[in-house]
Amino acid sequence: MVLRVQEAINEQVNNELSSSYSYLAMSAFCESQNFRGCAKWFRMQSEEETGHAMKLFDFLIARGANVTLDAISRPAPTYKSIAQAFETALKQEIEVSRQIDHLYELAFREKAFSAMAELNWFLTEQVEEERQVREIVAKFNLVKNDAAALLEIDKELGARSAEAK
């Protein structure tokens, strides 16, 4: 595998782990606010991001490439509101989409076809990730501070299962 592509995939492994870490912090924040459904959603999202990192990790291993893990920055511990945590999550997903696009572009330029094939899954996944978080943010924006509606959103997000995203 082309060294530049290998290095970029290693960077994305770390980006995915950083996203996982950030979602875990968001989960802890939601727990502290007694929004356990939102906390569950963020915890599951954290696990999903770790899964994304491992998919790239395993790809590097399968290609005989070196895996390099970097330090992960400390995520924000608190937010002004649960809604702000989801707004932050949306920004994070948009950034990950940008990262994947750049990684795919690099693989294309370097003719790293196996990397392109692997990254196709991530391109599709990011469309779904953004759509899902965008819908949650829209719901929070719609209900504003309506306590009953906020509790209903929390309940809905807490119903997330491992099979569904």
Q: Give the number of domains in the chain.
A: 1
Give this prediction's pTM: 0.94
pLDDT in tens, the chain (165 residues): 899 999 999 999 999 999 999 999 999 999 999 999 999 999 999 999 999 999 999 999 999 999 999 999 999 999 999 999 999 999 999 999 999 999 999 999 999 999 999 999 999 999 999 999 999 999 999 999 999 999 999 999 999 998 644
Q: Does residue 163 belong to any structural domain of this protein?
A: no
Closest-CA residue to 133 (of 89, 81, 75, 97): 89
Tell whether 110 is covered by a domain: yes
Contact 93, 126 (CB under 8 A): yes
* 23 domain-assigned: yes
- Indicate which CATH number applies to the domain containing 24: 1.20.1260.10
Question: For residue 164, is it within any domain?
Answer: no
pLDDT score at 165? 46
